[in-house]
Amino acid sequence: MIQGSVGFEEIGEEEDFAKLLEESFRNEKSERIVEGIIVEIKDDYVTVDVGKKIDGRVPISEITANDGTLKFKVGDKIPVAISGQKNERPIISYKNAVKKELQTSFIEANKDYEEREIIVEGKIVRKNKGGFIVENDEGVEFFLPNSLALIRREESDVIGKKITAAIVKIDDTNGSIVLSRKKILNDKRKVKKETIKKLVDDGEIVEGVVKKIASYGMFVEVNGVDGLVHYNEISFKGPVNPATLYNVGDTVKVKAINYDKDKKHLSFSIKAATQDPWEDIKNELEVGDAVKAVVSNIENYGAFLDIGNDIEGFLHISEISWQKNIKHPSEVISVGQELNAEIIELDVEARRLRLSVKRLMPKPFDKFSSGHTVGQNVKGVVTSITDFGAFVKIGEVEGLLHNEDASWFRDEKCKDILKKGDEIEVKIIKIDPEKEKISLSLKELSENPVKAYAKTHQVGDIVKGKIRDIKEFGVFLELARGVDGLIRTEDLYPKKAAELVIGEEIEAALTMLDEGKIRLSVKRVQKEKDKEALERVNKGSSEGSFNDTLKEQLKS
């Protein structure tokens, strides 16, 4: 409620004006106006001759101006109102006489109240049984009957409260003027009802003034009627905070979209008063087009880009950059930044627009594959280590260094020899354009232990090794660190696989050293020993008896 104003509700039915006026003025003393002459001025009062040398007294305050000076002097004629007699002296008042004259002048000037609506603003100065006495700024008094006051029952202290009412009756006989708040409020309701009906039925775009802004929307006044513009009805972008776009007092164009008769709520829309931008872009843009956009909002999962004309598109975090380790969009973009984006989805009906920034950028894999070849050595940084290997970042791409390509030694994996952040040199061993995958090798930058072993051994050599694994098809023999050889089952004779145990050391002859593969044979060991014995026999025959030499060799 506005401070100083009166609340209202209808009380009872209208009573007869004549009866009300009679009740109102029943206790008012009848007054007559006469012209008197000031004959004496004292400190507290002024003596006035009202005729036939009959004197009355007027309080000095009634003829004192605001600045403290007296308005009259001895000998001046002034009007006074005689309301009775006390101690054979008439009761007179200059103030009441002036008020009576004002009342009469007002009535004379507004006798045509039935032809035009006359609105009065004043404050309640006192009560009586029939209603309230209202006085305007000029001092004119009016009567406001209870039935036309619409003042709340609980509002007992109404003296001094300001009201606005319409004149509904003037009584020349006793100089009374009757007011009605009910009429003016009913007129306002009628006008408001007609205005609302016209706004809703016509559906025209009209101008209004922002009266109040709230978190859920803002209230706009159109032709004296207030309506709510919900925050969903402000922009085609979606819900917006009206305080970021408007100020109280701003003029806006709106369209009435609904009126709830039960709640008496009128709803306006700013969106409905403007051209739908989605219809504009329907024939102008399509998937694959590139647009300029400004970052308007950033969330954990992506960002909203303003492409202009009150339309926003969504940029998912995965569509910002080709980098795969972005944790938050703000790492690479900021609010207000202008970007080039490609339309990857456009659904006008659903008001959905999805954008991509990275698709307008060169794909890092394509750039890498065009500048690198299999077999090339490159430097990179270890970005993560897993159970199956490590990822190495080379420029803008990542390649996989699998455990089996990390070391020639079976007991060494990526997690054993590398840590995150290490800068290493690796060899490119595969570039898969379909899957966009890059395979790397660390071990190929060092010599294969098998090839190194082959440099110091040859086929036919008898060597020793420990059994590392036993399979159905044969036995793997560890000859040195990182060097394994296979003895097939048929080459184990005279040994049997069932009799062997892992870790046992046995002798075998080298049967193959080719392309990093080693084959061994236990069966061939005896043949190689016989061959060596025969060579020694042949050598010894030139020094003694062949038979003697052979016997000695056989004994050994």
Q: Strand, helix or coil at 9?
A: coil
Amino acid of residue 173: T
> Contact at 8 Å (CB) between 265 and 259?
yes
* For residues 423-435, average pLDDT: 93
Superfamily of domain 1-183: Nucleic acid-binding proteins (2.40.50.140)
- pTM of the full structure: 0.48
Q: Identify which has the larger pLDDT, 531 or 426.
A: 426
* For residues 329-338, average pLDDT: 94
Per the structure block, which two tokens stand in for 162? 């300001």
> Contact at 8 Å (CB) between 206 and 254?
yes
In angstroms, the CA 246 to CA 249 distance is 9
Q: Identify which has the larger pLDDT, 322 or 88.
A: 322
Return mean pLDDT, the chain: 85
277-360 maps to which CATH number?
2.40.50.140
Q: What is the domain class of 449-528 according to CATH? A: mainly beta
pLDDT of residue 4: 42
* For residues 423-428, average pLDDT: 95
Q: Identify which has the larger pLDDT, 157 or 3.
A: 157
Q: Say if residue 25's pLDDT is above 70.
A: no
Q: Identify which has the larger pLDDT, 533 or 421.
A: 421
Tens of pLDDT, residue by residue over 221-232, are 998 888 999 998
Return the domain boundaries, the chain.
1-183, 203-273, 277-360, 364-445, 449-528
433 upstream amide cis, omega within 30 of 0: no
| Highest-confidence segment of 61-65, 152-156, 317-321 | 317-321
In angstroms, the CA 5 to CA 209 distance is 24
pLDDT of residue 183: 86
Q: Say if residue 13's pLDDT is above 50.
A: no
Compute φ and ψ for 137, nearest 5 degrees: -65, -25
Q: How confident is the model at residue 2 (pLDDT cuts 50, 70, 90)?
A: very low
- Count CB atoms within 10 A of the CB of residue 358: 17
Fold match flag (1-183 vs 203-273) = yes
pLDDT of residue 268: 93
* For residues 393-418, average pLDDT: 92
203-273 maps to which CATH number?
2.40.50.140
What architecture (CATH level 2) is domain 364-445?
Beta Barrel (2.40)
Q: Say if residue 15's pLDDT is above 50.
A: no
pLDDT of residue 545: 54
Q: Could you say which DSSP state residue 62 is in?
A: G
Tens of pLDDT, residue by residue over 254-310, are 999 898 888 888 999 988 888 888 888 888 889 999 999 999 999 999 999 999 888
Q: Say if residue 166's pLDDT is above 70.
A: yes
For residue 401, how many C-alpha atoms fall within 13 Å in the half-sphere facing its CB?
31
